[in-house]
Each structure stands twice: as structure tokens, then as C-alpha cells.
Amino acid sequence: MKCLRMAGGDGHEQLQRQRDRALAILDAIGASYLLSAGGEILEVNDALCEMLGFGRDELIGVTLPWPFWPPEGISAAMDLRDNVVGNGYDVQRAEPFEVPLMRKDGTRFIAEVRIAPARLPDGAVLGWVSTARDISERRDYEVELERLVTHDPLTSLANRRLFDQRLEAEIANAIRHERPLAVAILDLDHFKAVNDLYGHPVGDQALQGVSVRLGAVLRKGDLLARVGGEEFAWILPEIPSEGALVAAERAREAIASTPFRVQVGSAAAGSPRTEVGLDLTISIGVAMRADLRDAAQLYERADQALYRAKRGGRNRSVLWSSASSSPLA
């Protein structure tokens, strides 16, 4: 780091050498560093400037709010700063903060920030030392890992684990607020024939296309999950039985209305790729929560309704009804 030499006698020369030595050590550490007092930035190191895209002359002497705070986060950053400085900060026990910061070009990122008081030999607080590191890649990795745990890798829909968690929560919410709740189970008709005739890669293309079409008919607040090979499950909160059946029919028509265009063949295997259209249909069983308090029972009723739809000729939607002596009649 280039520093201006202070004019003056030997005392000033010694002070300048000590300052240069301290800054050189801070730069060698590699951690992004900032020293502030009274809301004014007193010193920064090269690592911080490189991370933020600002020059030292653009940061040193700047007062609050600091230019690397996103405009939409200034209020929260000021509250955090006031809490740290005004109420004291237990360095030994405090966890680092994860805060949004902004580079000079306007791009945002998540930083892990640690703050500690810089004290003089007599214990007086000279200022506050903040160190920061960009943890965007780690956060992106954590988000992706969570997505892989809760979502189907082929279709990017929710998986059975997330579906079950959400269904439990929706049942509790429906009971608490006395609101309707529907669950639908959807199963592609004769899909095994697609895999047998064209192979699983083509079947995967079709499943991805089915997921897109089903996703297009969801309402805000709905959850669609892939829970089996060609089976999907759908949570429809706050919807009456008539509306749930209408929604199921809309989904069924979305699948049956237009053939799915898929690529058949493999250049690597020596056969040219050609596009074919697959005429697919889907059967749907729908069940209302009614007096049920158990997620497994609600899911079972929807599955029983799906069985009726399959047995009744497929490519149809069936609403489970307790009027019949047997739901499979």
C-alpha cells in the first residue's frame, strides 16, 4: 500500500514508519479491513478496496452512510451500527453479521462482517475495526444444496419431502383458520409405453414438458411436487371442492390439448435426431380436507380418487366423495 510520508522531525518519521508497518501487515493478512470512529472511515486496506471496487481516496474520510451500503439497506445498516456502537459489543461472544453490501458498480453481494473495538493502552476506544469477506459463493452453494434436498432434479419441482412438510403446515393452517384445503394426485396415463418405445431420455423430456404445463396452471400459493416416476401431487389451499375440480380439469386439459414435442435418436449412437409429437393424457384424483386432521389420510383419499379416475377410463378428474359406501365404487 502506498502511503504519503508525513513531514516533520524524527518523531513524525518514526510515527510514519510505524503506521506504514502496521498497514503493510494489515494488507499482507488479506482480510478486508476498515477502521472507523464517529461514523467516519479512518483507514482501509487494499483487500477491502479490491472487494468493493472503490479507491482508498473514495473511502477514507467518508462519513455515514457509507457508499458501499445498498440504498435500500441504509436504514437497517444504521440500526445495526447504532446498536453495536451505542449498546456495546461483546467481541468474545458475538457472532459475525451477514449483511448485504454494494460494489462501486452497483452489484450486491453478501458479506460476513466482524466488528471489534480498537482500544488504546488505557482502555479508551480509539475506533471500531470491521473485517469483511465476500461469502456469496458459500451462500449460493448453501441455497443450491437446500434446493437439491427439497426439489426434484429432473423437473425442478418440489419433491416428496417438501410436499409432505408443506401439506402438514397447510392442514394445520386450514384447521386453525377454518379454511378449505384440497389435494390432487396426478398420474400420466400409459407412460410406461413411452419409456419402452422411445427410452428413458425421451421420457425425461416429456416429464419436463409436463411439469412446465402443470406449473402454468398453478395459483399463487399452490405447491406442485413430483412424487413418483410419472406421478405428481398438488396442494391447493383455500379452495372449495368445485374450484378444486375446475383446477384439476384445467390441468388435465393443459396436458391433453397439444402433443409434446420431443427429440428422438442419438447422434452419438449413429442415429439422427428427429422430433416427434407425443399425445399424453393425465388422470387426476382430488380430495378435500373436510374433517380430516391427518395428512396421510388426505393423501390417501386423493389417491383413491385417482384410482377411480384410472378405472373409469383415464384422462379424467375425479373428486373423492364420502357419499359412496366405498370410495372405489
CATH number, domain with residue 62: 3.30.450.20
Residues 104 and 126 both lie in one domain: yes
Confidence of residue 121 (pLDDT cuts 50, 70, 90): confident
Confidence of residue 93 (pLDDT cuts 50, 70, 90): low
Identify the CA nearest to 225 among candidates 170, 278, 281.
Answer: 170
Beta carbons within 8 Å of 273's beta carbon, 6+ residues apart: 263, 264, 265, 266, 267
CA distances from 194 to 93, 124, 292 (A): 60, 77, 37
Residues 185 and 283 both lie in one domain: yes
In a domain, 115, yes or no: yes
Residues 156 and 263 both lie in one domain: yes
Residues 134 and 113 both lie in one domain: yes
Residues 204 and 304 both lie in one domain: yes
Query: Helices 241-256 & 200-216, crossing angle to 10 degrees?
Result: 140
Among 107, 140, 173, which residue terminates a domain? Answer: 140
Residue 305 sits in which domain range? 151-319
Residues 268 and 175 both lie in one domain: yes
Read off the pTM.
0.64
Cell numbers 406421478 correspond to 231
In a domain, 6, yes or no: no
For residue 26, pLDDT over 70 is answered with no
SS3 at position 128: strand
For residue 7, pLDDT over 50 is answered with no
Residues 132 and 240 both lie in one domain: no
Confidence of residue 77 (pLDDT cuts 50, 70, 90): very high
Beta carbons within 8 Å of 293's beta carbon, 6+ residues apart: 171, 175
Q: C-alpha 43: how far from its chain's center?
A: 36
For residue 325, pLDDT over 60 is answered with no
Q: Say how many domains are in the chain.
A: 2
Q: Residue 76 has which C-alpha cell?
A: 437497517
Confidence of residue 11 (pLDDT cuts 50, 70, 90): low
Q: What is the number of H-type helices and E-type strands within the chain?
A: 10, 12
Identify the CA nearest to 310 among candidates 185, 177, 183, 157.
Answer: 185
Residues 304 and 159 both lie in one domain: yes
From CA 204, how far away is CA 186, in angstroms rounded? Answer: 17
Confidence of residue 158 (pLDDT cuts 50, 70, 90): very high
In a domain, 4, yes or no: no
In a domain, 300, yes or no: yes
From CA 203, how far away is CA 205, in angstroms rounded? Answer: 5
Confidence of residue 199 (pLDDT cuts 50, 70, 90): very high
Confidence of residue 327 (pLDDT cuts 50, 70, 90): very low
Residues 136 and 157 both lie in one domain: no
Tell me what pLDDT residue 10 has. Answer: 67
Tell me what pLDDT residue 142 has. Answer: 79
From CA 272, how far away is CA 133, in angstroms rounded? Answer: 51
Q: Which helix (H) or strand (E) holds 1?
A: none
Among 90, 110, 140, which residue terminates a domain? Answer: 140
Q: Where are the beta strands (DSSP E) in the chain?
A: 32-37, 40-44, 97-102, 108-119, 125-134, 181-188, 223-226, 231-237, 260-264, 274-278, 282-288, 317-319
Counted residue by residue, the chain has a size of 329
Confidence of residue 141 (pLDDT cuts 50, 70, 90): confident
For residue 19, pLDDT over 70 is answered with no
Any idea of the CA torsion for 325, 326, 327, 329, to the nearest 10 degrees? -110
Mean pLDDT, rounded, of the chain: 88
Catalytically annotated residue among 170, 230, 238, 300: 230
User: Is 242 known to be catalytic?
Assistant: no
From CA 320, how far away is CA 328, in angstroms rounded? Answer: 9
Question: Do 114 and 98 touch, CB atoms closer than 8 A?
Answer: no
For residue 5, pLDDT over 50 is answered with no
Query: Helices 295-311 & 160-177, crossing angle to 10 degrees?
Result: 110
Among 140, 172, 207, which residue terminates a domain? Answer: 140
Residues 82 and 109 both lie in one domain: yes
In a domain, 20, yes or no: no
Instruction: Give the angle subtended at the CA of 180 by the CAs of 179 and 186, to the nearest 5°.
Output: 150
Q: Where are the beta strands (DSSP E) in 45-124?
A: 97-102, 108-119
Residues 114 and 168 both lie in one domain: no
Any idea of the CA torsion for 61, 66, 68, 74, to the nearest 10 degrees? 180
Q: Residue 7 has which C-alpha cell?
A: 513531514
Burial classification of residue 120, based on how many CB atoms lie within 10 Å of its CB (0-12 exposed, 13-18 middle, 19 or more buried): exposed
Average pLDDT (83-91) is: 68
